[in-house]
Chains A and B, each alone.
Chain A
Amino acid sequence: MTRNRIIDVPLAAVAVLVYVSLYLPILLVFLLSFFSMRRGKVNWDSFSLSWYAKLFENDALGEALWNSLLVGSLAVAAAACFATSAAILVRSQPGRHSARLLEYVIFLPFLLPPIITGLSLLIYFREAGVGRGIFTITVGHTLFVSAIIYRIVLTRLNALSRNLVEAALDLGATRMQTFRFIILPNLRMPLLTGGLLAFALSFDETMITLFLSGTDATLPVRLYAMMRVGFTPTINALVTLILGFSILLTVAVALAWRRNAGPAGKTSREGRT
């Protein structure tokens, strides 16, 4: 056991470094949205909410926030329908080449670098004569988040006994009835978890959106435009609000996950590999 401790010291040092570097920058932004800095030290007497007040005078930000919420909701709804049907199809014919190919194609927009997903849609919409705006952003986000919902729903479907579906069909239920009364009730939690996770991803998505947004900017795109100009306390305030919202979403996802079947977190981490 003594050796244990010796190994743990350098490991702990690295782990502390990792956690500090993940959280310290964010904490700094949070502090700077309330306090000013002087000579490298936070001036604790300078507490002010003035940067937050400034935010509410900015109409472009309100519009960007609305766009983000709209795109997120539409994309999650569309992705939930698409991904759930795909998962049911793949589950119904395991091992088939077509099913595995479908799965691969669904994962493509998620696995390819966002720059490629974004610009392939940009070129496609331009050639098809579709103007950039809410619709194009929504399509991009739908494709991007479908993989997540697909993976979570499929995991649940795989855990579901086939006998359940067969029993329903034997008892004379139509496929629609089986879906409505057997499959769907079992998918409520995975859909909630996946939906929340997908919404959080959509809310933060920047790289694909930069290609697909014309004049309708989402919040991260507006933020990107502001950041290129400089480092201002107003941005700190905005960033803090967005982080607060992201953390709320994370907590919601975590709570939903707990109620979902299976040990915490495992399925989504596999989903990205």
Chain B
Amino acid sequence: MTGYVPGAIVLWAICILFILVPLSSFLAYGFLPVVDNAIVYEPTFDNFVNIVSNSSYRTTFLRTMLLAFEVSAFNFVLGYATAYFIWRRPPAWRNVLVIALAIPLLMSYIIKIYAMRGVLGTNGLLNSALLALGVADEPVSALLFNLMAVRITLSIVLLPFMVLPICVALERIAPQVLQAAADLGASEIQTFRWVILPLSLPGAIVGAMFTFVLASGDFLAPELVGGIEGFTFGRLVFSQFGLAFNWPLGAALSVLLMVVALVVISIARRLSNPRWQS
């Protein structure tokens, strides 16, 4: 074991220097007040008091949490159906379908958002389709630059994160288990309800939690497709580092975001542990 000690020291030094110290300095920043556009290095609770007492921050926070919840709930349903469909294909098909889901993950996030603009915009694909079908007489401008556009964009961009963990969970179900259910006379619906669903739910929960964390902290999609209405918490944080130039307030705001992320990640870890079912 002794041979590893110097290596361990170096590794921990890197972790502390570049991960733990930045994270704690970011936490500490939240406590610093800003006076006359300059940061004062005397910790107070001012920023946090400010956030809690300011109703527009509160509504933005709640709106963003609701948005993230809606996106993950919607994707949960779509994602489960898709994963279940993939799982029921023959193995060769399954591989192709899974790879087709993974490819968009390696495409630039910002490009996918931009592409959604081409679909939702006034001259976009969706409007053209509506016009062609005679549903609308003139282009609907309400498709882009609002909260709905953010919902749709985030849903689509985050879908692979939902489907892939469910695919993994379904893939892990041993064929013998299904055989046993069939031998014992379970109908297809019973097998799904009592065998497949409980065994794949942990994967689905991980996917949902992951979608929630990513959606709640996102600022690129709301910024590019959300317009004024789609002002989310992530944008609020980001704006403190741009125009508003109030870094400590931005740090304090994102502490909230980090707490949410950590709580959600730890819940997901617990729920995705198969032992929770017993």
Contacts and interface: CB of A to CB of B under 8 A. Distances in A.
A228 B109 contact: no
Contact of B107 (A21, A98, A102, A246): A246
A270 interface: yes
A85 interface: yes
Interface in B90-126: 95, 97-104, 106-112, 114-119, 121, 123, 125
Interface residues of A, number: 87
B123 to A, nearest CB: 7
B4 A115 contact: no
B257 interface: yes
B230 interface: no
B84 A272 contact: no
Nearest to A25: B115
A124 B21 contact: yes
A82 interface: yes
Contacts of B78: 14, 17-18
Interface string A218-247: 001001100110010001000100110011
A50 interface: no
A25 B112 contact: yes
A223 B44 CA distance: 39
A139 to B, nearest CB: 6
Q: Of residues B3, B107, B257, which shows the largest number of chain A Cβ atoms within 10 Å of its Cβ?
A: B107
Contacts of B175: none
B22 interface: yes
B97 to A, nearest CB: 8
Interface stretch (B53-61, B157-165, B177-185): B157-165
B217 A119 contact: no
Interface stretch (A57-65, A104-112, A152-160, A183-191): A104-112
Contacts of B98: 264-265
B106 A116 contact: no
Interface of A: 3-4, 7-8, 10-12, 14-15, 17-19, 21-26, 28-29, 32, 37, 39-41, 82, 85-86, 88-89, 92-93, 98, 102, 105-106, 108-109, 111-116, 119-124, 126-127, 139, 143, 175, 197, 200-201, 203-204, 206-207, 210-211, 220, 223-224, 227-228, 231, 235, 239, 242-243, 246-247, 249-250, 253-254, 264-266, 269-270, 272-273
Interface string B174-218: 000000000000001000000000000000001000100110111
Contact of A89 (B11, B18, B114): B11
Given A106-B15, A116-B257, A120-B26, A40 B127 contact: yes
A195 to B, nearest CB: 14
B26 A207 contact: no
A134 to B, nearest CB: 16
Contacts of A250: 102-103, 106
A272 B104 contact: no
Interface string B231-243: 0001001100100
Contact of B88 (A11, A14, A18, A139): A11
B45 interface: no
A242 B119 contact: no
Given A7-B188, A41-B128, A113-B216, A243 B156 contact: no
B219 interface: yes
A113 B221 CA distance: 14
A119 B26 contact: yes
Contacts of B171: 266
A124 B115 contact: no
B145 to A, nearest CB: 12
Contact of B237 (A7, A41, A119, A201): A119
A220 B113 CA distance: 12
Contact of A21 (B121, B156, B163, B262): B156
14 contacts: A14-B85, A24-B119, A25-B125, A26-B104, A26-B111, A37-B123, A40-B128, A85-B11, A98-B8, A105-B19, A113-B234, A116-B261, A243-B108, A273-B268
A15 B81 contact: yes
B47 interface: no
Contacts of A266: 168, 171
Contact of B112 (A17, A26, A197, A264): A26
B149 interface: no
Contacts of A143: 18-19
Contact of B159 (A18, A93, A121): A18
B115 A15 contact: no
A11 B210 contact: no
Contacts of B62: none
A239 B132 contact: no
Contact of B108 (A18, A86, A242): A242
Given A21-B156, A206-B220, A223 B110 contact: yes
A183 to B, nearest CB: 13
* 6 pairs of A and B residues whose beta carbons are closest in the complex: A113-B217, A40-B128, A25-B115, A120-B26, A124-B22, A11-B85
